[in-house]
Structure 1
């Protein structure tokens, strides 16, 4: 009965989340369906997409038993060390030791990411701006020209990068290349602008 109860709880939560259309729509590292409980959970997903240590993430991945009740974390996050962490956006609750203990019993790491951490600084706004272009297809010629220019100059500003593009939307190309791991840009200090420095990731 417990397994059946958990399955019903997961199905119900996923069905409800599937009706929401939180923005931005595109993702980069998400595997599976987009299932966001709230806008804050969606915003945490934006940060996962621009975190270089995160290789992939999954929405509403499993059920924990917390005080005899099924509990569905927002995400399972896979990192470049092959570790997996269950993560919640902090609008749900303050970090809860019962949930952390339940995750540990089930063999998972667990983290509740506070609202303050999600919204502090410029990273989230930069991530949201970039993700508008996550589905953009980068023309081969433009990609090669920009990478060659960065090989020559080591770094360029956003404004200087614009002159490398001939075939597509310059800002969309730049954003897509950042999201796909070709380019490195500082996301925390200020909003991306003409003077922002761009470097190639080797």
Structure 2
């Protein structure tokens, strides 16, 4: 996916200048966790809720990739840069994250502008993410976004799951030789070798782990 798209009403140079300015401003912001696994280009977030949505995108099995601040949506002389472009097998959509403070609310015409470019459009409200168990688990896993797993540990975990099916996390940890066993499991989940149950409760010893089926 390209990091730059033409807008409807602006010349390409104007879109490029706008995207460059916004990306330069946002590059100074920092939100945790800092890692990402399916982001094309630099992970850049205008708000903490955008960072949260990025966490969920990384753990969404239907998301192929996502890009931050990807394009300009425009209508007449008005312009808007959405938080993400997200590629799924079913197509690409642009996504906005809306803080509870009411700041950075996208214009009402953003959906129509996205559709005119051939994209779907979604919004995620911070109020709907508060207390979300999946989000908290995604935050925990993404602390290991850059963790490298040895071939041996990967094969030991995958062999266990192929032979026995779904297993509790505690059983998977026992076959890992690395001293940071949870880092191994987290990294394998982030890279879709395995699946971890994320929606029932916070990750713990009894959390179910399964081979990734897609």
Question: In structure 1, what is the equivalent of residue 205 of structure 2?
Answer: 194
SS in 2 for 1:133: coil
User: Structure 2-normalised TM-score?
Assistant: 0.88
Equivalent in 44, 50, 64 of residue 41 of structure 1 = 50
Provide the residue aligned with 1:182 in structure 2. Answer: 193
| Per-residue deviation, 1:116 | 3.0
- SS, match of residue 200 in structure 2: coil
Structure 1 residue 63: Cα displacement: 0.3
Contact 1:88 1:111 in 2 (8 A): yes
Q: Deviations over 1:94-151 (max 9, x none)?
A: x753111111222221111122333352011100000000111101111111111112
Q: What SS does the aligned partner of 2:144 have?
A: coil
Which region of structure 1 is more displaced relative to structure 2, 161-170 or 128-137? 161-170
- Matches of 1:154 and 1:175, distance apart in 2: 18
Listed as ranges, the gaps of 5+ residues in structure 1 are none
Whole-Å Cα distance in 2 between the matches of residues 15 and 96 of structure 1? 22
Three-state SS of the structure 1 residue aligned to 2:109 is helix
RMSD value, Cα? 1.7
Indicate the SS of the match to 1:97.
coil
Contact between 2:10 and 2:74, CA under 8 Å: does it hold in 1? Answer: no
The alignment partner of 1:65 has SS state of: strand
Distance 1:35 1:168 in 2: 32
Of 49, 63, 78, the residue aligned with 1:69 is: 78
**TM-score (normalised: structure 1):** 0.93
Q: Is the 1:29–1:49 Cα contact (8 Å) retained in structure 2?
A: yes
Q: Which residues of 2 match residues 46-195 of structure 1 at below 5 A?
A: 46-81=55-90, 83-91=91-99, 92-93=104-105, 96-195=107-206
Q: Which structure has the highest helix share of the two? A: 1
Q: Per-residue CA shift, 1:5-29, capped at 9, x if unaligned?
A: 4332211110001111111111010
The list of structure 1 runs, each at least 4 consecutive aligned residues, that deviate by more than 6 angstroms after superposition, is none
Q: Secondary structure at the match of 2:33?
A: coil
| Alpha-carbon distance in 1 for matches of 2:180, 2:131 | 30
